[in-house]
Structure 1
Amino acid sequence: MTQVTIETGTPTAPDARALLQASHDLMGSLFPQEANHFLSVEALEAPHIKFFLAKDGNASLGCAALANHTTFGEVKSMYVDATARNRGVADRLMQQLVQEAKAQSLPCMKLETGTGLDAAHRLYERHGFSDCDAFGDYQADAPYSRYMELTL
């Protein structure tokens, strides 16, 4: 592996779209449709969302987005291709999201993740996230959701 870099990306670019589709397919295989809260590729182009790609040379290995909701930043579309897992790519993406949230002067970051996604939970905990109540439009009694936050 050469040096993994994190770049601002466009979710509709072919490599980003492929990563997002793989993420959506995976979540669709793990959870019922009503429990999936991912944004469409087009929705990730909203002006309040910053989208990042992890790259190794020309290969896109993963992606993540930060949605600025004024009082907090929300982690969206965090995904690493199966062939690039356990190589530190997710840690690099999370570091970029935290750096971006701080640059935008957001007081905290929040996320919704699926129950049973233990590797993702360990990643978030490693970066200082802890459990919190449901936020935004998420439901407190959603059986497949886990909510987490990080004070910046």
Structure 2
Amino acid sequence: MESDLSLSRGGSPVVPGASRPVIIAAEDPAQPDILALLATADAYYRALYPPESNHLLDVEALRGSDVRFLVARAGGRALGTGALAWRGAFVEIKRMWVDPAARGLGLGRRMLGALETLARAEGAAVLHLETGVRQPAALALYRSAGFAQTGPFGDYHPDPLSLFFVKALA
């Protein structure tokens, strides 16, 4: 089986389609290639955390009127996802994921920026998120993007495997 990932002469990852411009746009999450990407993410999270520590939105929830679901594509290939879930008094980032073959290309940071821009455009003043303690790259991304650690929000409860973050958009 051939890998989707190869190395350039300098040893950097080369992802099919990634040499083309990355387009981040709202899409329906119920497309076959996005469903496959979400299934990969779900398997990763299940390997890291027990069910009670996984707070994933399913596809039907991602299609809800209170959610904005974005996809990063290059050359037509879905490489990453992210969503904003409007929860009354707050907005939460959900389903941030980058295809493992496309990691290191800055797609997570670009997706996070696109979500922040969309949240501001729709009137959000603050963003919240929950992520797991066993995801050092995600934790580093959120901290470097100005998110501050906080306590549980919304319906979340304290969980030793979860960390909670907040960022003012003003």
Q: Which amino acid aligns with 2:44?
A: L
Q: Tell me, what secondary structure is at the counterpart of 2:59?
A: coil
What whole-Å deviation, never above 9, does each CA across 1:102-131 have from its counterpart, x for those lacking one? Answer: 011111000000012110011111211010
Partner of 1:149: 166
How far residue 70 of structure 1 moved from its aligned partner, in angstroms, is 3.2
How far residue 91 of structure 1 moved from its aligned partner, in angstroms, is 0.9
Matches of 2:148 and 2:78, distance apart in 1:
29
Q: Does residue 83 of structure 1 match 2:95?
A: no
Partner of 1:31: 49
Matches of 2:33 and 2:69, distance apart in 1:
13
- Larger Cα Rg: Structure 1 or Structure 2? 2
Q: Which amino acid aligns with 1:151?
A: A
Unaligned runs of 5+ in 1: none
Matches of 1:118 and 1:28, distance apart in 2:
16
Indicate conservation of the 8 Å contact 1:9/1:16, yes or no.
no
What whole-Å deviation, never above 9, does each CA across 1:35-76 have from its counterpart, x for those lacking one? Answer: 100011111111010000000011110000001123221000
Unaligned runs of 5+ in 2: 1-18
Indicate conservation of the 8 Å contact 1:70/1:106, yes or no.
no
Count of residues in correspondence between the two structures: 151
* Identical counterparts, % of pairs: 37
Partner of 2:156: 138
**Aligned-pair Cα RMSD in Å:** 0.8
Matches of 2:39 and 2:28, distance apart in 1:
14
Q: Tell me, what secondary structure is at the counterpart of 2:118?
A: helix
Partner of 1:46: 64
Matches of 2:104 and 2:125, distance apart in 1:
30
Q: Which amino acid aligns with 2:67?
A: I
Indicate conservation of the 8 Å contact 2:69/2:83, yes or no.
yes
What whole-Å deviation, never above 9, does each CA across 1:1-52 have from its counterpart, x for those lacking one? Answer: 1211101111111111111111111000110111100011111111010000
Q: Please report the TM-score for the alignment, with normalisation by the length of structure 1.
A: 0.96
